[in-house]
Chains A and B, each alone.
Chain A
Amino acid sequence: MQKIKSFLLKNGPLLATVAIFILVYAIGAQLYPTMKKPQVFFNLFINNGSLLIISIGMTMTVIMGGIDLSVGAMIALTSVASAALLQKNADPVFVMVLMLLMGTALGFVMGCIIHYLKVEAFVVTLMGQFFARGMAYVINESSITIKNEFYNYLALTKINLPFFEKAYVYIPTLAGIVLLIFTFILLSSTRFGRTVYAIGNNEQSALLMGLPVARTKLIVYSFSGFCSALAGIVFSISLLSGYGGYGQSMEMDAIASVVIGGTALTGGTGTVLGTLFGVLINGIIVSILQFNGTLTSWWTRIGVGALTLIFIGIQSLFYVKKKD
């Protein structure tokens, strides 16, 4: 009994997220029977591939007590930069590696400013956002189409899934799932991951405990930069183009997903697993609206907004409980 209670208390926000996802899905399936097809579920992963990737980076940042507002703009910058390079017949693999390096480097620089100059992460990453968005438009003001064979191949090759008939995902979809598993292990069972949690709880204490605070913070922001570049690559593959207006306010969707997934904005608690469900909830609302067809897509915004509010409510409820 005691064990069940402590389990519930520990994983309450996560379980609530999963429960809501199932509930919303069930309601949708009742209303629109086509939603019962497995492919609809996998489409959630396909359509939200880049959101999942930046949300994973965001989860780690938020657990550490930070935030990264640059991720949406980084998607735009990555898509434009790679499209421009591919237009000039650059090698696609080289372009991808270069983009990942650029994202990581930008994250690293922001991390340095945040840690060493002691500037609020909010401010630094907002400046990062302006820089990336501005840079994207400097490279090209209009949309560039990608006509690269390798990109085409990645965009159009279906991978059939075992156990499900006629269910498939695309190659880039796998990137998010692999990253999710990697990050889950990283956060839950490595020294680095646990240090991230410790810093999120109390940076001063973590420092006094002799944990490598500076290094960890730099790695986390670099990781978030890496994630946003990866998301940008996935994004440009799925649309086969690059444009400075992509990923508009996507960082806010990522933050909402992270919060819905049970990660507290104050830092110190949360899992990437929760974030996965946060992203899926975001996606399922969109799907239902699409199946309905008559409602405008802006209802998604209102739905996600309401859910985020509810989840912050649940979190503080659990927080109060734990304190008692």
Chain B
Amino acid sequence: MSNPNDEIIRLEGICKNFPGVQALKNVDFCLRKGEIHALVGENGAGKSTLIKVMTGVERFDEGKITYDGKEIVIRSPQHAQNIGISTVYQEVNLCSNISVAENLLLGREPRKLGCIDWKAMNKRAKAIMQDLDVDIDVTQPLGSFSTAIQQIAAIARALEISSPKVLILDEPTSSLDAHESNLIFKVMRKLCSAGVGIIFITHFIKQVYEISDRITVLRNGKLVATHETASLPTIQLISEMIGHSLAEYDEMKKSEFVVNHKKALLEAKELGRKGMVEPFDLELHAGEVVGLAGLLGSGRTEVVKVLFGIDEPDNGCLIVDDQLIKKHSPFEMIMHGVALCPEDRKASGIVGDLTIRENIILAIQARLGWFKFLSKQKQYEIANKYIKMLNIATPSSDQLVKNLSGGNQQKVILARWLATDPKMLLLDEPTRGIDVGTKAEIQKLVINLATEGMGCVFISSELEEVMRTSHRVVVMREHEKVTEFAGEVSEREIMQAMAGGE
């Protein structure tokens, strides 16, 4: 059992409400001295809210925080830093144009006659980095080093400024390869042997097992459990993260799908892009739904991005409708009848200040070219058709989209692409962050579209959802297509493939 004196920080019964959502429900968490504690969970699980509470960015509504044996209130990020809770974020918050030494020490640099004492500064910076087993030329601009080194520099600055007892690392390895991640891990091990408690947030299950001592799993704002890493099988961890959804979809039936031996609508051969996704093969037939399963960060989104030409592939080829795609670009793909519903609808899809009608018309107008203007009447016709078809809850098609709920916004985006009458539809997490009822509606819609002869690629974090809608399931792990299941397959099998090994 843990010695209570070893605990640095303990959170008990933390609740946090945002308007309309309860982000954290009665969450307990504790961090011991010198341990690496992994915090895992899918999107919307409440990880970042918990971190925000711990670093004083957000105030919690209920519960208490005990730090260093005393109950405290963390007032601001500055306050958190002063008492020894430091955070290093995924995107490096340093300046890439000035040297590593300046990044580490600017603000408390050694000075001589009012000017920076470069010699002393570089020497000290070098020593700090060497302490973390990184031997580099600190006089070079930070931007000339790899992201891993930049991350380590960010950690080093956090250590230099406040000598923290709690270090929170928010997805430090998300854009790093295995070798680079190891650099960070080495630094982490070194720090925790010096008694620093580290909270490590990541989507990479393998890394969780590689480095952490304990794991806390969150789901939907609730604490699922805290485990000793050594005694938790991967498969159990994943099922805890994904969970089981409600059983109210049972009436849904997958359309019968028989592979007609015609050519595939879309065929990717050895398609890949360095650093994003390893070369993969993928076929999509008319009337078929292909599900992409995998944990967050496993390369699901990257697959559709490469397919849709947002990121140009540097390997393999893509054949759409018997035509080899020579120039990869979203425009080209739209012209070939492919449509993409992007993952983050706020950032890359919806235009909140336009009306529903205008949002729906956008893609179809772009396809027509800006000179063949659709008449207002025609626009209303199209908009109203899809509002009805998708059951979008709104008083009129002239409503601003930002006033709609998340689920309805998602439907508007779907409508936008359906209006272009695509042959293939790529859906990246179309059900993320929307309520259960709407989720079911969207799933039903996807199935119906397939029945009518469309080919769909469906991505979701919820495994059940993928299994329910898809005829085939492609499993991604660590930016690689691992395997493909067709026909009846059990949840367990897919999870095992997602987890890898065993």
A: residues with CB less than 8 A from B are 6, 10, 185, 189-191, 194-195, 197-198, 200-202, 204-206, 208-211, 268-269, 322
Give residues of chain B (85-140) contacting chain A, Cβ–Cβ below 8 Å. Answer: 93-98, 102-103, 106-107, 109, 111, 114-116, 118, 140
Taking a contact as CB atoms under 8 Å apart, the answer to whether B107 and A210 are in contact is yes
Known: A6-B140, A191-B109, A194-B106. A209 touches B94 (CB 8 A): yes
Chain B residue with the shortest CB-CB distance to A6: B140
Taking a contact as CB atoms under 8 Å apart, the answer to whether A197 and B107 are in contact is no
Bound CA–CA A268/B95 (angstroms): 9
Task: Choose one: A190, A197, A202; the contact of B115 (CB below 8 Å).
Answer: A190
Chain A residue with the shortest CB-CB distance to B99: A194
* Given contact pairs A197-B98, A209-B103, A322-B144, a sample of 10 additional A-B residue pairs in the complex whose CB atoms are under 8 Å apart: A189-B118, A195-B106, A201-B96, A202-B93, A202-B95, A205-B93, A209-B95, A210-B107, A210-B161, A322-B143
Contacts of B95 in A (CB 8 A): 197-198, 201-202, 205-206, 209, 268
Known: A194-B102, A209-B95, A322-B144. A189 touches B115 (CB 8 A): yes
Distance in Å from the Cβ of A5 to the closest Cβ of chain B? 12
Q: Does B157 count as interface, using CB distance less than 8 angstroms?
A: yes
Proximity bits, B248-267, A CB within 8 Å = 1, else 0: 00000000000000000000
Bound CA–CA A191/B111 (angstroms): 9
Chain A residue with the shortest CB-CB distance to B115: A189
Chain A residue with the shortest CB-CB distance to B94: A205
Q: List 20 A-B contacts (CB under 8 A).
A: A6-B140, A6-B144, A185-B115, A189-B116, A190-B114, A190-B115, A190-B116, A194-B102, A194-B116, A197-B95, A197-B98, A198-B95, A198-B98, A198-B102, A205-B93, A205-B95, A209-B106, A209-B157, A268-B95, A269-B97
Taking a contact as CB atoms under 8 Å apart, the answer to whether A268 and B106 are in contact is no
Contacts of A204 in B (CB 8 A): 93
Contacts of A208 in B (CB 8 A): 93
Q: Identify which of B95, B114, B118 gathers the most chain A CB atoms within 10 Å of its CB.
A: B95
Taking a contact as CB atoms under 8 Å apart, the answer to whether A191 and B116 are in contact is yes
Taking a contact as CB atoms under 8 Å apart, the answer to whether B93 and A268 are in contact is no
Bound CA–CA A10/B141 (angstroms): 9
Distance in Å from the Cβ of A282 to the closest Cβ of chain B? 26
Known: A189-B118, A204-B93. A209 touches B98 (CB 8 A): no
Pairs A-B, 6 closest by C-beta atoms? A201-B95, A268-B97, A201-B97, A198-B95, A208-B93, A189-B115
Contacts of A191 in B (CB 8 A): 106-107, 109, 111, 116
Count B-side interface residues using an 8 Å CB cutoff: 22
Chain A residue with the shortest CB-CB distance to B78: A210
Taking a contact as CB atoms under 8 Å apart, the answer to whether B115 and A198 are in contact is no
Distance in Å from the Cβ of B48 to the closest Cβ of chain A? 17
Bound CA–CA A43/B157 (angstroms): 49
Contacts of B102 in A (CB 8 A): 194, 198
Chain B residue with the shortest CB-CB distance to A206: B95
- A contact patch SS: helix
Distance in Å from the Cβ of B30 to the closest Cβ of chain A? 28
Distance in Å from the Cβ of B449 to the closest Cβ of chain A? 41
Distance in Å from the Cβ of A182 to the closest Cβ of chain B? 12
Task: Choose one: B96, B97, B107, B141; the contact of A211 (CB below 8 Å).
Answer: B107
Distance in Å from the Cβ of A214 to the closest Cβ of chain B? 14
Chain B residue with the shortest CB-CB distance to A197: B98
Chain B residue with the shortest CB-CB distance to A212: B107
Chain A residue with the shortest CB-CB distance to B106: A194
Bound CA–CA A194/B118 (angstroms): 12
Distance in Å from the Cβ of A110 to the closest Cβ of chain B? 24
Known: A210-B107, A322-B143. A200 touches B93 (CB 8 A): no
Bound CA–CA A172/B103 (angstroms): 39
Distance in Å from the Cβ of B92 to the closest Cβ of chain A? 8
Contacts of B114 in A (CB 8 A): 190
Bound CA–CA A198/B101 (angstroms): 13
Distance in Å from the Cβ of A320 to the closest Cβ of chain B? 13
Contacts of A210 in B (CB 8 A): 107, 161
Taking a contact as CB atoms under 8 Å apart, the answer to whether A209 and B115 are in contact is no
Contacts of B103 in A (CB 8 A): 209
Distance in Å from the Cβ of A196 to the closest Cβ of chain B? 10
Contacts of B93 in A (CB 8 A): 202, 204-205, 208-209
Bound CA–CA A195/B107 (angstroms): 9
Chain A residue with the shortest CB-CB distance to B118: A189
Give residues of chain B (63-97) contacting chain A, Cβ–Cβ below 8 Å. Answer: 93-97
Bound CA–CA A205/B107 (angstroms): 13
Chain A residue with the shortest CB-CB distance to B111: A191
Bound CA–CA A210/B93 (angstroms): 11
Bound CA–CA A191/B115 (angstroms): 7
Bound CA–CA A25/B172 (angstroms): 52
Q: Identify which of A10, A209, A322 gathers the most chain B CB atoms within 10 Å of its CB.
A: A209
Taking a contact as CB atoms under 8 Å apart, the answer to whether A211 and B106 are in contact is yes
Bound CA–CA A269/B144 (angstroms): 14
Give residues of chain B (167-194) contacting chain A, Cβ–Cβ below 8 Å. Answer: none
Bound CA–CA A141/B415 (angstroms): 64
Contacts of B94 in A (CB 8 A): 205, 209
Distance in Å from the Cβ of B228 to the closest Cβ of chain A? 35
Bound CA–CA A206/B111 (angstroms): 20
Bound CA–CA A206/B102 (angstroms): 12
Bound CA–CA A311/B360 (angstroms): 43
Chain A residue with the shortest CB-CB distance to B81: A210
Bound CA–CA A198/B161 (angstroms): 17
Bound CA–CA A174/B44 (angstroms): 64
Distance in Å from the Cβ of A315 to the closest Cβ of chain B? 13
Contacts of A268 in B (CB 8 A): 95, 97
Distance in Å from the Cβ of A288 to the closest Cβ of chain B? 36
Chain B residue with the shortest CB-CB distance to A208: B93
Distance in Å from the Cβ of B187 to the closest Cβ of chain A? 19
Chain B residue with the shortest CB-CB distance to A199: B95
Contacts of A190 in B (CB 8 A): 114-116
Bound CA–CA A322/B96 (angstroms): 11
Contacts of A205 in B (CB 8 A): 93-95
Distance in Å from the Cβ of B121 to the closest Cβ of chain A? 10
Chain B residue with the shortest CB-CB distance to A200: B97
Bound CA–CA A306/B116 (angstroms): 39
Bound CA–CA A201/B114 (angstroms): 24
Bound CA–CA A197/B97 (angstroms): 7
Task: Choose one: B98, B143, B144; the contact of A194 (CB below 8 Å).
Answer: B98
Proximity bits, B131-166, A CB within 8 Å = 1, else 0: 000000000110110000000000001000100000
Contacts of B141 in A (CB 8 A): 10
Known: A191-B111, A209-B93, A209-B107. A201 touches B116 (CB 8 A): no
Contacts of A197 in B (CB 8 A): 95, 97-98
Contacts of B107 in A (CB 8 A): 191, 209-211
Taking a contact as CB atoms under 8 Å apart, the answer to whether B116 and A198 are in contact is no
Contacts of A206 in B (CB 8 A): 95
Taking a contact as CB atoms under 8 Å apart, the answer to whether B106 and A198 are in contact is yes
Bound CA–CA A224/B93 (angstroms): 28
Distance in Å from the Cβ of B77 to the closest Cβ of chain A? 9
Contacts of B116 in A (CB 8 A): 189-191, 194
Bound CA–CA A200/B96 (angstroms): 10
